[in-house]
C-alpha cells in the first residue's frame, strides 16, 4: 500500500464529506461504541477511581521510563526472548527485515499493530520479498481493499457489510452464498486465513503493554488470530512503543480493566494474552518433553521514533494514551470525516496531537485545527488526557508559521488585543451578536462571508445569543436582590 497523498486535512475532509453515506456509517458505528462504553462504566462504581489510578500509573511510568525499560529487557532475556532497540522507524524496519532474512522467511502473518503501520512495515517487508498477510479481520479487509486502517480499534469502521461483501467478491472470488450475511463472511475469512497461519514462517504482532516485572508482553484481542499469529509460526516478532510498558502485573490489571470498557464496553477483551518468552525446551534435548506450543524464537522490538523527544515537554501527556479509540468515537470531527481524512496512522483527537508531535508540525500543520475543542475527548479518555490543552499548544506554535493565512494571523492578533480590553471586547461582542443574528433563521446562519464561509460549507453556524452571559448574570443578581 502506498503512503497517503500529502494533501491538507481540509481537502481530505472535504472529499470525505462528499463520499456518499460515509458520515452515516461512521456515526452509527461510533454511537454504538460510545453507548457501550457509557453502559460499562455506569455499572462499574469504582470506574472513576480506577481511571485516576490508571492515569497515575502512566505518569509514573513516563517519569522513570528508562528504569522500567531496562528491567523489561533484563526479564525478557531471562526468559529466552531477544530485545532490540529501534531509535527510528528506519531502525525498526532494518531489524525486522533482518530477522526475516536470517530465517529465510517468505510469508508473514501479522496481527493488529499500530506501531507497524506507523513505521510502514508491510511495505518494507514487501520490498524485501516477504509476503505479509494481515490476520485481524478488519485489517485483512483493509489490506484486500488496498487501504489503511481508519480507526485504532475498528480498522474498517468506515465500511458497511455490503462494502465488505464487494471486497470479498472482487479479491477472494466469493460466491453470493459466502457473503450473504456477516457470519458467512467471517467464516470465509477464517477458512482463508487458517491456511496462511499454517504456512507462515514468521508471525508479527503488536503489544498492548510490556510488563517490566516479568518481561512479558500483553496482547488483547477479540479474535483468535492473536494467539495463532504468536504461537504457530516458528519465529514471533512483537513491536512495542517504548511508552507502553507497565511496572507490574498489578498495574497491568488496572490498565486492562479501563482499556476494555473504554474501547468496546466489555469487562475484559475475549483474549487477553501474556507471552513470556519462546516455548521452553527440555534441557536434555527431548522434543517430547519440551513445550509443544509457541515459537522457537521471540523478538521484541522497542520503538522510539520520536517518543523520547516528547518526554518533559508540554506534549508528553499524549504518551499516556493506551489506544482505546474512545476519543475517536466521541469526536464530532471524526464522526463526520473518518480516519482517512487525517492522512496518518493515528487519527481523531489523539492523532491530531500525536502525529504532529512525532512527525513534525511542518508536515501536519492543519491537524491541530481538526477539532472543535468541545472537550469530549478529555471527558471520555480512560486516563484523562487533556487533549484540548495540547491542541491549543500546537495551534500556538503554528500561529506565526509563514504558510498560515494572513487573515488568520491578523484575526488572532486582533482578538488578543480586544480580549485584553474588556470594554472594547464587550462592544465587539455586541457587534458580532448583531451581525450573526442578521439574516439568521431559527437561530442559525446558513452562510458566512469571506474566509468564514469554510465553516458554513458543510454545516450551519449558530447565531450568537441575544443576551451575553454577563447580561444574564447581572439580571439574575438583580432578581435575587
Whether residue 290 is found in the same domain as residue 436: no
pTM, to two decimals: 0.89
363 found inside a domain: no
Spatial contact of 345 and 117, defined as CB atoms under 8 Å apart:
yes
Q: Which residues on neighbouring strands pair with residue 218, listed in sequence order?
A: 209, 274
439 found inside a domain: yes
Q: How far does the chain reach from its first CA to its final CA, in angstroms?
A: 69
How high is the pLDDT of residue 468? 87
pLDDT less than 50: residues of the chain: 1-5
Last residue of a domain, one of 255, 270, 305: 305
Whether residue 168 is found in the same domain as residue 53: yes
Last residue of a domain, one of 277, 305, 333: 305
191 found inside a domain: yes
Backbone angles phi, psi at 153, to 5 degrees: -100, -40
Distance CA(72)–CA(382), nearest Å, equals 24
Last residue of a domain, one of 282, 305, 328: 305
How high is the pLDDT of residue 122? 97
Q: Which residues contact 460 (CB under 8 A, 6 or more apart)?
A: 444, 445, 446
Using DSSP's 3-state secondary structure scheme, residue 82 falls into strand
Count the domains in the chain: 2
Distances in Å between the Cα of 406 and the Cα atoms of 43, 223, 425, 449 are: 51, 51, 22, 16
How high is the pLDDT of residue 3? 45
Distance CA(468)–CA(472), nearest Å, equals 6
How high is the pLDDT of residue 38? 96
Whether residue 287 is found in the same domain as residue 412: no
How high is the pLDDT of residue 5? 46
Q: Which residues contact 231 (CB under 8 A, 6 or more apart)?
A: 203, 293, 294, 295
Using DSSP's 3-state secondary structure scheme, residue 18 falls into coil
Distance CA(414)–CA(412), nearest Å, equals 5
User: Which domain covers residue 423, as residue numbers?
Assistant: 406-480
Amino acid at each position: 500500500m502506498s503512503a497517503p497523498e500529502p494533501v491538507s486535512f481540509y481537502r481530505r475532509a472535504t472529499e470525505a464529506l462528499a463520499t456518499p453515506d460515509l458520515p452515516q456509517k461512521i456515526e452509527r458505528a461510533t454511537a454504538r461504541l460510545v453507548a457501550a462504553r457509557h453502559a460499562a462504566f455506569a455499572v462499574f462504581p469504582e470506574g472513576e477511581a480506577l481511571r485516576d489510578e490508571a492515569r497515575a500509573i502512566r505518569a509514573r511510568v513516563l517519569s522513570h521510563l528508562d528504569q522500567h525499560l531496562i528491567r523489561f529487557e533484563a526479564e525478557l532475556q531471562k526468559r529466552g526472548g531477544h530485545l532490540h532497540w529501534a531509535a527510528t522507524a528506519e531502525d525498526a524496519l532494518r531489524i525486522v527485515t533482518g530477522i526475516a532474512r536470517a530465517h529465510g522467511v517468505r510469508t508473514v502473518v501479522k496481527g493488529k499493530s499500530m506501531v507497524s503501520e506507523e513505521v510502514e512495515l508491510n511495505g518494507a517487508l514487501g520490498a524485501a520479498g516477504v509476503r505479509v498477510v494481515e490476520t485481524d479481520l478488519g485489517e485483512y479487509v483493509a489490506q484486500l481493499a488496498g487501504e489503511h486502517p481508519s480507526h485504532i480499534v475498528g480498522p474498517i469502521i468506515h465500511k458497511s457489510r455490503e462494502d465488505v461483501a464487494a471486497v470479498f467478491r472482487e479479491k477472494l472470488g466469493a460466491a453470493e452464498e459466502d457473503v450473504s450475511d456477516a457470519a458467512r463472511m467471517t467464516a470465509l475469512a477464517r477458512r482463508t486465513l487458517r491456511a496462511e497461519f499454517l504456512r507462515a514462517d514468521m508471525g508479527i504482532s503488536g503489544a498492548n503493554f510490556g510488563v517490566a516485572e516479568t518481561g512479558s508482553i500483553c496482547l488483547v484481542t477479540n479474535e483468535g488470530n492473536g494467539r495463532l499469529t504468536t504461537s504457530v509460526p516458528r519465529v514471533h516478532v512483537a513491536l512495542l512503543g517504548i511508552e507502553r510498558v507497565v511496572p507490574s502485573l498489578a498495574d497491568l490489571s488496572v490498565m486492562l480493566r479501563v482499556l476494555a470498557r473504554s474501547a468496546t464496553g466489555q469487562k475484559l477483551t475475549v483474549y487477553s494474552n501474556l507471552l513470556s518468552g519462546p516455548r521452553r525446551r527440555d534441557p536434555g534435548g527431548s522434543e517430547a518433553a519440551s513445550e509443544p506450543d509457541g515459537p522457537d524464537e521471540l523478538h521484541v522490538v522497542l520503538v522510539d521514533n520520536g517518543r523520547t523527544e516528547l518526554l518533559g515537554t508540554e506534549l508528553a501527556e499524549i504518551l499516556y494514551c493506551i489506544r482505546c479509540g474512545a476519543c475517536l468515537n466521541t469526536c464530532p470531527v471524526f464522526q463526520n470525516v473518518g480516519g482517512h481524512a487525517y492522512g496518518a496512522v493515528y487519527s481523531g483527537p489523539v492523532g491530531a496531537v500525536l502525529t504532529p508531535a512525532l512527525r513534525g508540525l511542518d508536515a501536519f500543520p492543519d491537524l491541530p485545527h481538526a477539532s472543535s475543542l468541545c472537550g469530549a475527548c478529555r471527558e471520555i479518555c480512560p486516563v484523562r488526557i487533556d487533549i484540548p490543552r495540547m491542541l491549543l499548544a500546537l495551534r500556538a506554535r503554528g500561529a506565526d508559521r509563514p504558510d498560515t493565512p494572513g487573515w488568520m494571523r491578523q484575526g488572532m492578533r486582533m482578538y488578543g488585543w480586544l480580549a485584553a480590553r474588556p470594554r472594547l471586547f464587550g462592544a465587539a461582542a455586541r457587534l458580532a451578536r448583531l451581525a450573526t443574528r442578521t439574516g439568521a433563521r431559527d437561530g442559525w446562519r446558513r452562510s458566512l462571508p469571506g474566509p468564514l464561509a469554510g465553516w458554513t460549507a458543510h454545516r450551519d453556524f449558530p447565531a450568537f445569543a441575544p443576551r451575553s452571559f454577563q447580561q444574564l448574570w447581572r439580571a439574575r443578581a438583580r432578581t435575587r436582590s
